[in-house]
């Protein structure tokens, strides 16, 4: 250090300062954001808040309907998106021989991943709510979300399929199994970690989505009639993120909004944790 | 993947094997077709989205006139005036501002995490940054509304703090995680030999990182910036909560509408079939074209990065 010329020493000091200052800014932002949300949100959270609906009569606010709606949307979207996405990834890695077709499909996937959610919201409301006459329902919202999370599932599954050693496939085919049999019994089980991770990331994306659900489902924060499955899909109601927006922007119930934010924060932590856990624990040995 | 695609099918030689193959063939064939359909679905979705946006976006542009639509400075549904220059400029200024603030912070943090930080510290910061990436955008909006907007109002002595400036800060924070993680991946991929050679020639560690590692990872870092641009230009719900949403021409401390919030703020009450709603679709088309441009740029950069 002492032998450096003054200009090099200045360079050293300036870059080191920038490194530490910028990292400190990032860390402080993180700590402040998380701390502030928890500080404002935790006091409002209790069992009643999580398990009841809003009651004008008693003047209490509960987010149970929003939790239910979020779950319905997650389940409905994944039921459709998961087979589609895994199927597409299998086609791309196992079957496709035409380089051009693979490039087109991959380009389409990347394009879908880059489209902002407000455009999905617009197109979803045009296609599902208006053209297909579904109205603003959980079904229309879930179908729009299928398109949105598809790239996430395709990409993670594909990455995972690529890491399955070629010798596994050769061994299976060499023992006389057909291609589909080989995929079902050898390739898919060895890439289960990627598929599960893809699912979890998709759940994260759905939980965090607000624009799509606001324009294809609804902003009503009340409870709907959920007696049959068809009834659920035809009904309509705000998910957690939409409820947060409504309470913050339109009803000025800020403590409720922060409590919902805390719930979302906890969910995000759980989802991230589950994703990294799935990546580690489900990975087959000797892969 | 190349291996999988060119994998040779073992040719059946014996008649027994051939008849066995013939027996299982229909199921195999059906599965192959099913998977092909799954693969084509993504392409179908992109086509549907593009076609819908173009078909529904063109009527209003035709009615208003392309020039008046893109370069008109007033947006007012009451007076049937639909000019989106204000929205376009706001989106460009807002994104540029977020990049100017967010990229340096994210870049230096990435260098620190990738090269300087002790592994344990880096792991903790990395986990938290990933958490930041997963937080829903309305939560950022909420904190912005509660902390940033009042702060701006008091510090700069304004009547209201909802402004382009507030939106820029929120966007800068929101693009940080993607910039940090993509740049860090690129920096981690720089071969150790480069750094070892530089150190052996007498460069200090920091000189090595900034004059050898960073240039070697430059297309990955450029991809991070472009990704950040894409995120910022497409964000709607966080900035709708802090930007005030009045259709003004942009200035730093005035209430503004972005392309995204311009759509979002009127979508729920513009009646179907009206010129107002069609004009919203046209804004969507303009935004879509911006995004496609950015995507193509991003893919080129990422491809170049992969090829080294």
Q: How many CB atoms lie within 10 A of CB B150?
A: 12
What average pLDDT does the segment B21-29 reach?
Answer: 69
Q: Which two tokens stand for residue B31?
A: 């599965």
Residue B6 pLDDT > 70, yes or no?
A: no
Q: Pick from B28, B42, B267: which is nearest to A215 by CB?
A: B267
CA distance B222 to A224: 48
B130 and A244 within 8 Å at the Cβ level: the answer is no
Place of tokens 């389940």: A75
CB-side exposure of B118: number of CA atoms within 13 Å? 2
Q: Which two tokens stand for residue A8?
A: 């090099």
Q: Out of B4, B42, B292, whose CB is closest to A88?
A: B42
Tell me which chain A residues have a C-beta less than 8 angstroms from the C-beta of B28. 178-180
> First vs last Cα of chain B: how many Å apart?
19
CATH architecture of B71-307: Orthogonal Bundle (1.10)
Q: Which of A107, A101, A121 is nearest to B261 (CA)?
A: A121
Q: Is A208 exposed, middle or buried (0-12, 13-18, 19+ CB in 10 A)?
A: buried
pLDDT in tens, B211-254: 999 999 988 898 899 889 999 999 999 999 998 888 888 888 88
Check residue A238 and give its pLDDT: 84
Residue B188 CA, distance from chain mean position: 22
Q: Residue B81 carries which DSSP code?
A: E
Lowest mean pLDDT among A2-6, B205-209, B230-234, B293-297: A2-6
Given pLDDT bands bounded at 50, 70 and 90, which one contains residue B183?
Answer: very high
Q: Which two tokens stand for residue B147?
A: 């902390």
CA distances from B218 to A31, A113, B186, B197, B226 (A): 30, 23, 8, 19, 12
Give CA–CA dist B37/A96, Å, rounded.
Answer: 12
List Cβ neighbours of A150 (8 Å cut-off, separation of 6 or more). A81, A84, A85, A88, A109, A112, B41, B42, B45
What per-residue confidence (pLDDT) applies to B301?
Answer: 80
Of chain B, the percentage scoring pLDDT greater than 90 comes to 44
- What separation in angstroms does the CA of A273 have from each of A265, A280, B127, B128? 12, 11, 9, 11
Backbone angles phi, psi at B298, to 5 degrees: -60, -45
ipTM: 0.88
- H-assigned helices in chain A: 6-41, 47-51, 64-90, 99-114, 117-124, 138-162, 166-174, 179-182, 188-190, 192-208, 211-216, 229-234, 240-245, 254-281
CB contact under 8 A, A91 and B35: yes
> What pLDDT score does B76 carry?
82
Cα angle: A31, vertex B166, B84; to 5 degrees: 140
* Separation of alpha carbons A154 and A165, rounded Å: 19
Per-residue pLDDT of chain A in tens (287 residues, 90 and over written 9): 557 888 888 888 999 999 999 999 999 999 999 999 999 888 888 887 777 777 766 667 778 888 888 888 899 999 999 999 999 999 999 888 888 999 899 889 988 988 999 999 999 988 888 888 888 888 888 999 999 999 999 999 998 898 888 888 888 888 888 888 888 888 888 888 888 888 998 999 999 888 888 888 877 766 666 666 666 667 778 888 888 888 888 887 888 889 999 999 999 999 988 888 887 877 765 44
Structure tokens of A88? 């597409």
CA R_g for chain B: 25
Torsion, Cα A80 A85 A87 A88, to 10 degrees, reads 130
Q: Which of residues 7-46 of B touch A (CB under 8 A)?
A: 7, 10, 20, 24, 27-28, 31-32, 34-43, 45-46
Residue among B200, B219, B217, B220 nearest B209 (CA): B217
DSSP state at residue B73: -
User: Smallest CA–CA separation between A142 and chain B, in Å?
Assistant: 15
Phi/psi zone of residue B245: left (φ > 0), alpha (ψ -120 to 50 degrees), beta?
left
Q: Is the dihedral of CA A179, A180, A184, A187 positive or negative?
A: positive
- B295's enclosing H/E stretch is helix B275-307
Q: Are B248 and B261 a contacting pair, CB within 8 Å?
A: no
Residues 134-163 of A with CB under 8 A from B: 147, 150-151, 154, 162
**Between helices A6-41 and B85-111, what is the axis angle to 10°?**
110
- What's the CA gap between A93 and B32, in Å, rounded? 12
CA distance linking residue B181 with residue B172, whole number of Å: 15
Of A162, A16, A190, nearest to A94 by C-alpha is A162
Question: Min CA distance, A169 vs chain B (Å)?
Answer: 9
Mean pLDDT of the residues in chain B: 86
**Confidence check: pLDDT of B23 > 70:** no
- Specify the pLDDT at position A228: 65
pLDDT band at B177 (very low <50, low <70, confident <90, very high): very high
Between A49 and B142, the more confident residue is B142
Of A84, A105, A162, the CB nearest to B1: A162
Q: What is the pLDDT of residue A230?
A: 66
Strand partners, B75: B82
CB A216 within 8 A of CB A69: no
């Amino acid at each position: 250090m002492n032998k450096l010329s003054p200009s090099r020493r200045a360079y050293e000091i300036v870059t080191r300062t920038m490194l530490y200052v910028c990292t400190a800014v990032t860390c402080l932002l993180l700590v402040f954001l998380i701390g502030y949300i928890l500080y404002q949100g935790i006091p409002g959270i209790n069992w009643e808040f999580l398990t009841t609906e809003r009651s004008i009569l008693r003047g209490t606010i509960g987010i149970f309907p929003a939790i239910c709606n979020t779950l319905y949307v997650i389940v409905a979207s994944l039921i459709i998106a998961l087979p589609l996405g895994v199927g597409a990834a299998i086609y791309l890695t196992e079957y496709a021989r035409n380089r051009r077709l693979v490039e087109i499909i991959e380009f389409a996937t990347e394009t879908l991943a880059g489209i902002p959610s407000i455009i999905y919201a617009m197109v979803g409301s045009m296609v599902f709510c208006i053209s297909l006459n579904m109205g603003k329902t959980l079904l229309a919202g879930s179908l729009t979300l299928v398109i949105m999370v598809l790239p996430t599932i395709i990409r993670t599954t594909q990455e995972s399929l690529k890491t399955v050693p070629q010798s596994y496939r050769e061994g299976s085919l060499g023992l006389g199994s057909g291609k589909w049999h080989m995929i079902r019994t050898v390739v898919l089980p060895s890439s289960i970690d990627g598929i599960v991770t893809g699912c979890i990331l998709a759940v994260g994306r759905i939980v965090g989505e607000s624009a799509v659900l606001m324009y294809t489902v609804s902003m009503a924060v009340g409870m709907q009639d959920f007696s049959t499955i068809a009834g659920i899909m035809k009904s309509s109601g705000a998910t957690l993120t939409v409820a947060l927006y409504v309470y913050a922007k339109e009803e000025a119930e800020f403590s409720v909004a922060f409590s919902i934010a805390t719930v979302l924060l906890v969910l995000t932590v759980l989802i991230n944790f589950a994703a990294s856990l799935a990546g580690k624990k489900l990975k087959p040995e000797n892969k | 993947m190349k291996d999988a695609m060119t994998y040779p099918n073992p040719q059946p030689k014996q008649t027994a094997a051939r008849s066995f193959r013939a027996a299982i063939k229909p199921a195999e064939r059906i599965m192959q077709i099913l998977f092909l359909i799954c693969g084509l679905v993504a392409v179908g979705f992109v086509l549907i989205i593009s076609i819908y946006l173009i078909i529904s976006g063109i009527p209003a542009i035709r009615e208003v006139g392309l020039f008046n639509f893109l370069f008109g400075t007033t947006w007012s549904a009451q007076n049937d005036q639909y000019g989106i220059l204000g929205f376009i400029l706001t989106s460009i200024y807002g994104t540029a501002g977020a990049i100017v603030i967010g990229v340096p912070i994210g870049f230096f943090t990435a260098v620190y995490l990738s090269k300087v930080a002790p592994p344990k510290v880096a792991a903790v910061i990395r986990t938290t940054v990933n958490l930041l990436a997963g937080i829903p955008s309305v939560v950022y909006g909420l904190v912005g509304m509660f902390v940033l907007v009042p702060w701006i109002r008091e510090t700069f002595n304004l009547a209201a703090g909802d402004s382009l400036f507030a939106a820029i800060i929120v966007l800068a924070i929101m693009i940080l995680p993607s910039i940090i993680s993509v740049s860090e991946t690129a920096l981690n991929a720089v071969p150790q030999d480069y750094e070892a050679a530089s150190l052996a020639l007498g460069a200090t560690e920091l000189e090595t990182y900034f004059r050898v590692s960073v240039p070697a990872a430059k297309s990955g870092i450029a991809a991070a910036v472009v990704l950040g641009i894409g995120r910022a230009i497409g964000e709607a719900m966080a900035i709708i909560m802090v930007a005030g949403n009045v259709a003004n021409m942009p200035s730093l401390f005035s209430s503004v509408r972005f392309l995204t919030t311009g759509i979002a703020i009127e979508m729920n009450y513009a009646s179907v079939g009206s010129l107002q709603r069609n004009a919203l679709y046209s804004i969507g088309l303009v935004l879509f074209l911006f995004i496609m441009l950015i995507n193509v740029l991003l893919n080129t950069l990422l491809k170049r990065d992969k090829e080294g």
